[in-house]
Homo-oligomer: A and B are copies of this chain.
């Protein structure tokens, strides 16, 4: 607690996720005033054919 869920288009590297986790946890702990240990972050990679915006799949754009 807090739990942060990130849905993002597939293709980001583990290095990017690592940096995101580190920095967003630090900022979450600072702003929401909690210990970093209670911050969970989960990434869900989404395929381009599984994400539509404006009625069009990303795979078709």
Residues of B contacting A3 with CB < 8 Å?
3, 6-8, 40, 42
Whether A4 and B6, one on each chain, are in contact in the complex, defined by CB atoms closer than 8 angstroms, is yes
Whether A18 and B50, one on each chain, are in contact in the complex, defined by CB atoms closer than 8 angstroms, is no
Copies of chain A in the complex: 6
A15 to chain B, nearest CB (A): 9
Residues of B contacting A53 with CB < 8 Å?
1, 37, 39-41
Q: Measuring CB to CB, which residues of chain A are less than 8 angstroms from any residue of chain B?
A: 1-9, 12, 14, 16-28, 31-33, 36-46, 49-60
Q: List 10 A-B contacts (CB under 8 A).
A: A1-B58, A4-B6, A4-B7, A7-B42, A18-B57, A20-B28, A21-B55, A21-B56, A42-B50, A42-B52
